[in-house]
Chain A
Amino acid sequence: MSFKIVVLAKQVPDTRNVGKDAMKADGTVNRAALPAIYNPEDLNALEQALRLKSKIEGATVHVLTMGPARAAEIIRESMYRGADGGYLLSGREFAGSDTLATSYALACAIRKMGKVDIIVCGRQAIDGDTAQVGPQVAEKLGLPQITYAEEILDLSGNVITIKRRLERGVEVVKGTLPLVVTVNGSAANCRPRHAKLTLKYKRAATPTEKQIAGSDYTDLYDARPYLNINEWGVSDIDHDIKWLGLSGSPTKVKQIESVVFTAKESKRLTASNEEMEDLMKELIANHTIG
């Protein structure tokens, strides 16, 4: 019996460790200074997918990502950790997509995959923090959704039980497959790369990557078809062009400003007894404390 798990993942700039060179002099973001990484919560999602795979005979995990050619890196990264393969959705028609146009494109790609049993993705990506793509893909596919998942507790037949982590508590919910699950950062961390799989999939590549690398390994990809990462363009999915890219995006960016905090005039103190005592006296005197 086949059981198809699809993980939606995104390659994102690492916004968590923004250094001084991350902003250009004109106040715009210097993307080149930020390393491209696997969106953290998508890794949590991959782990939940891999755990399901290990419990279900014949289950496969495929990663779907939309992005430029270099985003194939996260598909390979997924394969090193146990995924069976992946799909890169790429093309300039997708440029300028907001969350809704992105979700439409991803939903078209998922439809093209045939029967999918469960779709798992991170709750949100760190470059936008919107948490919108998961629920919007579910809506586009007409599937139920379970968001903020922390752990898939059980799957019996097609009934899945999931623990959700909310702001102030937990909830256990039950649903019927197929559905979309978005996974929280509080879920289990993703397993590390597996040495054997890393060796096995090191040369996994999309057609574009193979082209850039030259034809040295043509025979290799014929002999080992699992090294082929699928690359889909707009012509590979059934779509209506008006729902893609800019025209499919109801939100428009009016203005972008870089954040500049105006420096205050501040008093500098040392940790000496006298200065600490003076500070506390001052705060008491002006009724800030006490």
Chain B
Amino acid sequence: MNNIIVYLEIEDGIVGDVSLELLTKGRTLSDQLKCKLEAVAAGCQLDKIGAQVFPFGVDTLYLADDKRLTPYTTLPHTSLLVNLFKEEKPQIVLMGATSIGRDLGPRVSSALFSGLTADCTSLEIGTYEDKKQGKVYENLLYQIRPAFGGNIVATIVNPDCRPQMATVREGVMKKEIRDEKFVGKTKKLDLSKYISDMDFVIEVIERHIEKSKVNLKAAPIIVSGGYGMGSAENFKMLYDLAAVLGGEVGASRAAVDSGMAEHERQIGQTGTTVRPKLYIACGISGQIQHIAGMQESAMIIAINNDPQAPINQIADYIITGTVEEVIPKMIQYYKKNSK
């Protein structure tokens, strides 16, 4: 009772990184709150899930094993969680801010009348004083998220309703194993108590999910392009530079929206959060939503023909010039000086 529950996203029997990141965060929060960390897995052939999640410090793993739960559809997963949460009364529930978590989370929160905060970038425990009612709440979950296109950061709390629910994007939290040898308890759920046949009204008739080709999170060097790249032609130079340096290509939202790069390359609040060793921002002006997704890079080089571009504020090196001129020179002088 009153524990933290993480909803696990599973594709082909593998627990998604976003869920493992949430378990890492959930473990820290549950230590602080002195409660248990629990996880729920819904799908079929779940016998290998435990081995994947227990090292992250999961005390209890709930298994909902049923062929009909894979692939994911909204209603049966909703019923499962709503009924499980009514029994277990978790104080906090965490889900990935993915197309699954963002479909499931609001539905569950509406059914339970509990507050949900989407796309949190930070989760902390703290107190909240309701001055109007003169009430002080201890140990609430601070759900911290950007709002208003990233121009403000809001701290949201759910004082009275449980569970306190939050979604977090992949790559925002760190993934860290707690104890390789730890093994928690497994509880198999009798699904007839949780899900009704009426829940299977939406049928998935076709599905093409590709493994992500781009791994921005793991790339030590990211060469990223913005709207200032001007054309898809120019954008190709970034692939050349990334190939030479051994990095990956990223993009700002503006570059993705204008069709110069695929969505999975997007860096920023509505894309991936990255922390590479080196981030080269090419033709990126530096809107707040982009900066929020890359400001923790160890070194930032900004290439821009506007000497006043906002990105310059957080850059270690500011190169004022056109990308057409600068990038070929970087490639040339790297090749010349490296062995």
Min Cβ gap A103→B in Å is: 6
B90 within 8 A of A: no
A175 to B315, CA, bound (A): 50
Q: A103-B110, A271-B329 are in contact. Are A257 and B153 (CB under 8 A)?
A: yes
Q: Is the CB of A250 within 8 A of B152?
A: no
Q: How many chain B residues have a CB neighbour from A under 8 Å?
A: 93
Q: Is the CB of B321 within 8 A of A251?
A: no
Q: Is the CB of B149 within 8 A of A126?
A: yes
**Chain A 256-290 interface mask (CB, 8 Å, partner B; 1/0):** 11110101101111110100110111011000111
B270 within 8 A of A: yes
Q: How many chain A residues have a CB neighbour from B under 8 Å?
A: 75
**Main SS of chain A's interface residues?**
mixed
Contacting chain B: which of A161-169, A200-208, A216-224? Answer: A161-169
Q: In this complex, what residue of A is CB-closest to B246?
A: A289
Q: In this complex, what residue of B is CB-closest to A277?
A: B333
A268 to B334, CA, bound (A): 19
**Chain A 124-147 interface mask (CB, 8 Å, partner B; 1/0):** 001111111111101110001111
Contacting chain B: which of A15-23, A51-59, A84-92? Answer: A15-23
Q: Is the CB of A128 within 8 A of B334?
A: no
Q: Is the CB of A173 within 8 A of B202?
A: yes
Min Cβ gap A246→B in Å is: 10
B278 within 8 A of A: yes
**Chain A 167-211 interface mask (CB, 8 Å, partner B; 1/0):** 111111111100000000000000000000000000000000000
Question: Which residues does B use to contact A, with CB under 8 Å?
Answer: 71, 73-75, 78, 98-99, 102-103, 105-107, 109-111, 113-119, 128, 130, 142-143, 146-161, 201-212, 221, 245-246, 263-264, 269-270, 277-278, 287-288, 291-292, 295, 298-301, 307, 312-322, 325-326, 329-330, 333-334, 336-338
Min Cβ gap A85→B in Å is: 28
Q: Is the CB of A175 within 8 A of B202?
A: yes
Q: Is the CB of A289 within 8 A of B111?
A: no
Q: Is the CB of A258 within 8 A of B278?
A: no
Min Cβ gap B308→A in Å is: 11
Which residues does chain B contribute within 8 Å of A151, judged by CB atoms? none
Q: Is the CB of B156 within 8 A of A253?
A: yes
A255 within 8 A of B: yes
A48 within 8 A of B: no
Which residues does chain A contribute within 8 Å of B210, judged by CB atoms? 168-169
Q: Is the CB of B154 within 8 A of A146?
A: no
Which residues does chain A contribute within 8 Å of B128, judged by CB atoms? 252, 254
